Amino acid sequence: MKTFIKYNLLLVSLIFCFTPAQEVKSQDFGADVVSSYVWRGTQFGTGPHVQPWMELGAGNLTGGIWGSFGLNDDASGNELDLWVSYDFGPLAVTVTNYSFPGADGTYSAGGVFDGDIEVSGSASLGPIDLTVGYFTDLEALYVEAGFPVGPVGVAVGFGSDGADAFYAGGESGLVNLSFSGEKDIKISEDYALPVFGSFIYNPDAEAAFLVFGFSF
């Protein structure tokens, strides 16, 4: 199953590469810089990370690359993800290949297409954004609901582990409570820098994080 998904992910990537330019309806790229990399209630690596991304869109199909690279010397927390998503309207389905290169961009085992596969779905139910993700090999399930409370974005995430300890130490539990805000800092008449901050608490691990970042 994992091999089947990877070959299809590669196939879709090749389709994007050879799609005529006039058929590509959208393209975008950018980067975030964060004080630490915390994802779904767990910190990856140490210190600040730069997180560049690129994406292409053709109709309801979107594909892209997302990375996170530590600004220290040990490459801890380095990540390079390939993903494709199809929006069916009420539901968007995404397949993501998570890989973890070293400081020089090489892999100690496998390669960029030999990462951990997650199949996820996302939908909006009124003011609630619901995401469900499942890692096929790790047998790890994650469910998150996000919603606004005034100007604050709130997310509640539940993790359930299968074959390996991933979210909740091999069990199930509430792993992510986050409270986020954002604002624009005016730099000039024509440009404002988007900044954001999050307080993240993992009840299962009893870990807390305060993350600051900006986008460009």
SS3 16: helix
Give the CATH number of the domain where residue 52 resides: 2.40.160
Taking the C-alpha atoms of residue 194 and residue 172, their distance in angstroms, rounded to an integer, is 35
SS3 3: helix
- Whole-number percent of the chain with pLDDT over 70: 88
Domain holding 142, by residue range, is 2-215
Closest CA to 79 of 56, 50, 57: 50
pLDDT value of residue 53: 96
Closest CA to 4 of 95, 127, 67, 105: 95
Tokens read off for 16: 């994007």
Number of domains in the chain: 1
Q: Is the pLDDT of residue 189 over 50?
A: yes
Residue 18: which pLDDT band, with cuts at 50, 70 and 90?
very low
- Whole-number percent of the chain with pLDDT over 90: 65
Residue 21: which pLDDT band, with cuts at 50, 70 and 90?
low
Residue 20: which pLDDT band, with cuts at 50, 70 and 90?
low
Q: Is the pLDDT of residue 7 over 50?
A: no
Q: What is the pLDDT of residues 55-81, one digit of tens each?
A: 998 888 999 999 999 988 777 789 999
Taking the C-alpha atoms of residue 32 and residue 51, their distance in angstroms, rounded to an integer, is 5
pTM exceeding the 0.85 threshold for the entire prediction: yes
